[in-house]
Amino acid sequence: MKLTYETLTIGPMGNNVYLLADEDTKDCVIIDPGFLPKRQLGFIDQKGWKLKQIWVTHGHFDHTAGVKAISEAFDPPVPIAMHPESFDWAQQNPSDGMFGVSVDEVPRVDIPLHHGMWLGINPDGAEKVVEVRDVSGHNPGSVIFYCPELNAAFVGDAIFRESIGRTDFQGSDHELLLKNIREQIFSLSEEAVLLPGHMDPTTVGHEKRFNPFVRG
């Protein structure tokens, strides 16, 4: 297995959509497929990759807008992995009422995520490559996906370069987010790359030194 990832920055909110792929098998997963699902599907086709799963870090619409369309572009539909608390939050706070934006809601959860579980790119395969860590605070049930082979974590909106996710939404918890960043993200190596849902990548070491919200 040889892992690689690609980043697509798309949509009106500059969302980073990530694809994690096994270059040997050409199997891949897509993480937080937001706006413009046809562009994302076209990129996967261009790479010659085979989409096996959709992984969702949390329930905000800009990270889930393309989930339904991408899943249902295949027969059978591509499995969706999401924390049940994030899914429930999204069901109870639809995007048109919460944010004034109408998008397709996540239709179901096929793989319920929980803290400490391991995922493989192919859900039927034995090889697990990513650890799920609960970083609730920005959104209930928010998770990150840490890949030891790449020493990189797909962190959604938990943390950004010298900033953190907003906590003024329904269900957010500022102190819980800070606690989870310190315990679940800052416990990674200082060289670990953090791949956020918006803006540029950073590292654990950089955020420990320069992030004004959780420095130290």
Domain ranges of the chain: 3-210
pLDDT of the residue at 146: 98
pLDDT of the residue at 126: 76
Q: Are 142 and 57 in contact (CB under 8 A)?
A: yes
pLDDT of the residue at 103: 83
Q: What is the pTM of this model?
A: 0.95
CA pair distance 182, 152, nearest whole angstrom: 16
pLDDT of the residue at 124: 82
SS3 call for 18:
strand
Identify the sign of the CA torsion 22, 80, 30, 173.
negative
Q: ∠ at Cα 8 (26, 133), nearest 5°?
A: 75
pLDDT (tens digit per residue) in 163-201: 999 999 888 999 999 999 999 999 999 999 999 999 999
Q: Are 194 and 211 in contact (CB under 8 A)?
A: no
φ/ψ (deg, to 5) at 162: 60, 30
CATH placement of domain 3-210: 3.60.15.10
Could you tell me which of 177, 187, 186 has the C-alpha nearest to residue 209? 186
pLDDT of the residue at 102: 73
CA pair distance 74, 195, nearest whole angstrom: 27
pLDDT of the residue at 170: 86
CA pair distance 106, 90, nearest whole angstrom: 8
| Contacts of 34 by beta carbon, 8 Å cutoff, 6+ apart | 10, 11, 13, 15, 17, 61, 62, 63, 64, 65, 66
Within the chain, which residues score under 50 in pLDDT?
Answer: none
Could you tell me which of 9, 35, 53 has the C-alpha nearest to residue 195? 9
